[in-house]
Structure 1
Amino acid sequence: MSAPSHEENLSPLASTDRSTWFSRLCEHTAFWMLLILLGLVFVFSLISPNHAFFSVSNFFTIALNASQLVLLAAGMTFLLGSREFDLSVGANVVLSSILAAKTITGLAGSPDQVAMGDYPNLTVAIIAGVAVALLTGTLFGLINGLVVTRLKISSFLVTLATTTVGLGIALVITHGANVPDIPRVLQISFATNKIFGVIPLPVAVSLIIVCLLWYILSKTRFGTHTLALGSSPNAARRAGIDINSHSLYLFSLMGLLCGVAAVLDISRFATTNIGGHQTDNLQAVAAAVIGGTSLFGGIASMSGTVIGTLIPVVLSTGLVIMGLDSFYQLIVVGLIVIVAVYIDQRNRQRSV
């Protein structure tokens, strides 16, 4: 008699456990989006000229391009998990970057010195500029939270309104022109600098922040309260959670991350970008939703958000390498968002 095969040695309970584990995995939107991401990487690596897509340098370029968006998407993950929105993140990034740039160029030296590229007070100016960006972003988010919690207005409407206010203030300050003469040392010493000659510093900063936010969301009481707020505000209130205070923390956190993104923005491009952040809000929401965070609150995935951030960046990079218009990514990302929302709704219906 031949020896029993490995499959024959599996007990029915073990087979059931594996089946249950796989079924649960298939219920997660992030799992399907990861398969899409890996599929895109495989296809572009296979069909790109000389397999240029599949290289370490290109992967780090992708990570660098995603380093700002992933911060905004991470903050949006917390807000969506609590059943809130922030559509003003693009305006926040623009305003924070402008005030930071104005601070740096104003403190680095006299107008003539700055125009000539001479910055006698460079260190103080950069420290003050970073502080201004973080403070501006946090204050912007705090104002959003105060209006939402105190006036009891939908966060969707509030942040839609503060988008125009923020952009209006930015345009008044700059008269519609980008801030010039930002020290290129920010670009050389930070944005293009690499740890061990491999990992760009902005990528390392974003990775550390996202890992910290993952821990807060999944391992701390703050994260539990955030998802409880999104699942049922009334139940969260009865459980003793201060809903207004917690919402203020969430909007302030979103603002702080906008400030960090603003610092990365001006350091990478050595200029402000007034017209370049108009779709940041939708991209951040899309990244979070693609990754499995529910638009209806109560469910959030930080690791999924990272996947959701990488998908459009991989698409854009791959299309450029192929010599195609990168705008096709907008069509594909929109379709993926529809699929992600459908999966979320289907899973919710099953759980009812």
Structure 2
Amino acid sequence: MPESAWKFLFYLGAWSYSTYLLFGTDYPFFHDPPSVFYDWKPGMAVPRDIAVAYVLQGSFYGHSIYATLYLDAWRKDSVVMLVHHVVTLVLIVSSYAFRYHKVGILVLFLHDISDVQLEFTKLNVYFKSRGGAHHRLHALAADLGCLSFCLSWFWFRLYWFPLKVLYATSYCSLRSVPDIPFYFFFNVLLLLLTLMNLYWFLYIVAFAAKVLTGQVRELKDVREYDTAEAPSPKPRKADPQHRLPKGQRCRCRNEGCAIEQEQKRETVSSNNEQNYEKTREARNPTYALSEGPTGKARSYGTDGRSTGGLSLIS
């Protein structure tokens, strides 16, 4: 839940700021996409309000690479998500360096809205069942959020993104600046971003199909691993490389991780044995243990003779 709350707050603020730049200022980029290259020239000044958006987004995606590897829950699409964050960060840095910042604002605006709705929906899924009660308001908000997320993903990322961004960068850029630098580099990254949008759209279609066929009755993130699908193999007890320091979670961060469950069982078993010995000694004062010459536990009676093993002397 904290992961979704943090992402929701960031994406909401970032998308609101992008919306302000496109519709609250004199920038015509959204209504006239070819205008992003009308006055382009190398080394041109970047407006301060756009530079602020770039600093915030660049910092966020730099952190997101680290978070995907070490902080966030590992999901079925985490590898693709990691590639997405790297591509996005390269696009942010390169578009600023090449002075394609006007296109960058369009790209950010068209993508962030879907992330706002995704994290909003996930938060309400978490909130709808808590304290042993079902909260209908959060359930309704989750359903509406899921519907708007599906629609916005198609409209913003699969319709407007090619219509406004790819059209401007692949066609209009050559008409305005015939020898524009880094043309193929920039467009290849944008096409790769489009392919990843299509990849995630397949998850959306698969989830919608399960809902329509009655296979799924409750909203859930289909990218999450079920316990039976956990990718971590069950470790052998004697394998020291699978031992975790006390209090530390496994790197996979999956609920029901086989490594964590095995170590918990060993800890509980060890604690039970210790508690049993303490209880037995407390109830029988003459019960004692000593280390024999072989290193094995030996017991001694009241006469001082070894009994060769564990015994109770009355």
TM-score bracket for this pair, using the shorter chain length: under 0.3
Structure ranking higher on relative contact order (CA contacts 8 Å, 6+ apart): 1
TM-score, with structure 2 as normaliser: 0.28
TM-score, with structure 1 as normaliser: 0.25
The structure whose residues are more often helix, as a share, is: 1
